Amino acid sequence: MKNIFLSFQHLLAMFGATVLVPILTNFDPSVALFCAGLGTLIFHLCTKGKVPVFLGSSFAFIPVVISATQNANGDIAYAQGGIVIAGLIYVIMSFIIKFIGVEKIKRYFPPQITGAMIAVIGLNLIPTAIDMASSNFIVAAITLGVVLCVNLFCKGFFKQLSILVGIAVGYAISIFLNQVDLNLITQAATFQIPKFSFPKFNLESIIIIAPIVITVFMEHIGDMTTNGAVVGKNFMEDPGLNRTLLGDGLATMASGIIGGPANTTYGENTAVLAITKNYNPLLLRIAAIYAIFLSCIGVFGAFLQSIPSSVMGGVSIMLFSMISYIGVKTIKDSKCLSKNKNNLIVIFSIVLIGIGTSYMSNKGILIGIPITDGVSITGLSLAAILGVVINRIINYKEFKKVVNN
């Protein structure tokens, strides 16, 4: 009974963020929830059941999924194809790490690159959140205010539920204002298999989505390091980073194949581990089974689809701002600017390219590296690739020093 309750806490902790991503990107929330559960079980299988981690929908992929879907005239199946390839890249990287070690890979992705990329992801998403909130700014503001209040004034596990509390309050107000289509819920089947869909592949969607792996790879290392620090074990050594990355990659591939967003390890659940002091990986596997079960409850899926965009917009403003903050904090904590002023050029280049090309693209002006007549590398993908190249060039001496050591 104790394990059942503790597992339910993990489900609640990951729930808000996991269902928010598909709502923002037009994936089916029920499929996303199913994929989160399935992905978590795949991850635990790959890591020999040793790592207490839950996998949920990745925020890092939101802007590139939206961009890939728009480029495919609204057909999200092509974004699924890009996600499958991104997962495949994870898998390939896991085998490379097994043979050459993680340090030789990490030196290509220092904090000035990963921190700047995380910040750009958040900044690119904030206009989307504001646009969603514009359907009713009052409801959005109240929702945002509730989330902020819970974060600022509450402690312990309840603080981890800030997104759910904000959505609940915003949803209740929206019902009072007659802005919720309750017919979606009343007409839904009690039990319903999620609406799975298969991916489609084209070069443009792959080019848009695949380079985001650069950022997510370093995020994965950070999550494994943090999780290990909380639990008191070195998961980078046992079961090994190659196995955790393999699990992440296979989970993301599986999700893309059946119609879900990319998966990633969740810091929210690491916070629950820190609060409860119960590090048993079995709890996360039970939570994964809960998620799969909930995804098959038709009424539940209909409820998720009935949440007004203004409510999700209010929550998203805070979440996307936090993503940018995490990027800035990554740069600050690494002290990369005080160590080497050249890193400012790398950061500025990534921010300028990542935001500037996206802005110009919205104005109908495409700036990027042409691959074929209809395919170009632009936006976040261009920023990630050029960031690595620029850093390699201007920090050549520092890079060479790391290699020699």
- Higher-confidence residue of 134 and 363: namely 134
pLDDT band at 153 (very low <50, low <70, confident <90, very high): confident
List Cα–Cα distances, 289 to 39, 154, 164, in angstroms: 11, 29, 20
| Both structure tokens of 132 | 């969603």
- Higher-confidence residue of 28 and 269: namely 28
Reported as a single tens digit per residue, the pLDDT across 32-43 is 999 999 999 999
Distance CA 247, CA 217 (A): 13
Phi, psi of 377 (to 5 degrees): -90, 120
Share of the chain above pLDDT 90, in %: 34
Reported as a single tens digit per residue, the pLDDT across 246-280 is 999 999 999 999 999 999 887 667 767 776 678 88
What is residue 403's predicted lDDT score, i.e. its pLDDT?
57
**Per-residue pLDDT for 297 more than 60?**
yes
- Contact indicator for 376, 368 with CB cutoff of 8 Å: yes
**Per-residue pLDDT for 102 more than 70?**
yes
> H-type helices in 101-110, by residue range?
103-106
> H-type helices in 211-295, by residue range?
213-231, 241-258, 267-276, 281-295
List Cα–Cα distances, 14 to 126, 131, 177, 238, 400, in angstroms: 21, 25, 29, 25, 41
What is residue 198's predicted lDDT score, i.e. its pLDDT?
95
Phi, psi of 337 (to 5 degrees): -75, -40
pLDDT band at 49 (very low <50, low <70, confident <90, very high): very high
C-alpha angle 121-122-126 in degrees, rounded to nearest 5: 125
Distance CA 7, CA 279 (A): 11
- Higher-confidence residue of 228 and 243: namely 243
- Contact indicator for 348, 174 with CB cutoff of 8 Å: no
- Contact indicator for 250, 242 with CB cutoff of 8 Å: no
What is residue 243's predicted lDDT score, i.e. its pLDDT?
95
- Higher-confidence residue of 248 and 100: namely 248
What is residue 289's predicted lDDT score, i.e. its pLDDT?
93
Question: In the block, which residue shows the tokens 């089974």?
Answer: 289
| Both structure tokens of 190 | 């009690």
Q: For residue 201, give the nearest of 27, 75, 378 by alpha carbon.
A: 75
What is residue 305's predicted lDDT score, i.e. its pLDDT?
81
What is residue 373's predicted lDDT score, i.e. its pLDDT?
60
SS3 category, 374:
coil
Note if the pTM is more than 0.85: no
Residues 369-399 as b/e (b if ≥16 CB within 10 A, e otherwise) read eeeeeebbbbbbbbbbbbbbebbeebbeebb
